Amino acid sequence: MAERKIIAVLGATGAQGGGLVRAITEDADGGFAARAITREIGSEKARELARLGAEVVAADVDDPESLKRAFEGAYGAFCVTFFWAHFSPDKEIAQAKGMAQAAKHAGLRHVIWSTLEDTRKWVPLDDNRMPTLMGKYKVPHFDAKGEADRVFAEAGVPTTFLLTSFFWDNLIHFGMGPKRGADGKMAFSLPMGDKKLPGIAAEDIGRCAYGIFQQGREFVGRTVGIAGEHLTGTQMAAALTRSLGQEVRYNYVPPEVYRGLGFPGAEDLGNMFQFKRDFEEAFCGARDLEQSRALNPALQTFEAWLARNAGRIPLD
């Protein structure tokens, strides 16, 4: 059997990277092998990936030398940053530089950079429709990833720029599920007005990335957007109603209200939803559903995701 191409996967014990490791290990004859990168090779999650057949190696994205070692001998890498672990866009850009340098050093043939739009191309800093945050960003966790695209390009790393979408898993892990209001009714709140929000099962991001590695170099240098569905808040509430067996209403919370909710990251997310609401056509247009399904034929719809996961959404 020909030697398998090693894909080094950052965030392997997490949502996006985990989906990629599982996609690779489930496809034993696919020609690829997964190298799962973690800070803690002895953790239960890391051991589970080893049981699935992944090689597990230690590295920290804040330690570029450890990344160089982790990328050595690989064919490709999946690169992702972890904004919500530190809330620092500048740190994301520095980490992306370390990844790009390590990829160049290892001579990788194909890197997928999990990115998002630099919203300042649509909403310049002097556009007051939304506040400027941290002095130089509109949507810090988007802008930094988009700004870091050029880091890979300038380093001469053969890169596919993967535009991801809102994880439906946020309804489980990010406190974004429906809540019971004072009137006793369940309400699903989003700052989207009547506009469509591209969403995806987080697991499917890694599975689409696997499709990109399989297609190979025709995707190098390209930006590819993925989503499972583009849905309005009303459509999502209707799907939640069917799945949970109780009425869930869509509650539009304007971005200016959302920004003031006071939880860490509320302003960033308020600006993010406003960007998605106000630039619906461009944002949805960049995330083609047919292409996403072609990359990952098992791509889940919101209904399909709910059928598997509705029981995990915390309801009060």
Least distance from C-beta 16 to ligand NAP, angstroms? 3
Q: Which of 6, 49, 81, 139 binds ligand NAP (CB under 6 A)?
A: 81
# residues near ligand NAP by CB under 6 A? 25
Question: Cβ atoms within 10 A of the Cβ of 28, count?
Answer: 11
Could you tell me which stretch among 24-32, 35-43, 126-134, 286-294 binds ligand NAP (CB under 6 A)?
35-43
Site pattern 149..168 for ligand NAP (x: CB under 6 A): ---------------x-xx-
Q: Return d(Cα 127, Cα 123) in angstroms, integer.
A: 6
Q: Return d(Cα 175, Cα 90) in angstroms, integer.
A: 26
Identify residues 92-131 at the interface with ligand NAP (CB under 6 A): none
83 binds ligand NAP (CB under 6 A): yes
Q: Which residue is nearest to ligand NAP (CB)?
A: 14
Q: Which of 48, 60, 72, 288 binds ligand NAP (CB under 6 A)?
A: 60
Comparing CB distances to ligand NAP, the nearer of 185 and 235 is 235
211 to 2, 8, 263, 295: CA distances (angstroms): 20, 15, 36, 5
Could you tell me which stretch among 57-65, 105-113, 269-277, 288-296 binds ligand NAP (CB under 6 A)?
57-65
Dihedral of alpha carbons 187, 189, 192, 198, sign: negative
243 binds ligand NAP (CB under 6 A): no
User: Reduced to 3 states, what is the DSSP secondary structure of residue 73?
Assistant: coil
Q: Which of 6, 11, 178, 225 binds ligand NAP (CB under 6 A)?
A: 11
Residues that bind ligand NAP (CB under 6 A): 11, 13-17, 38-40, 43, 46, 60-62, 80-85, 141, 164, 166-167, 170
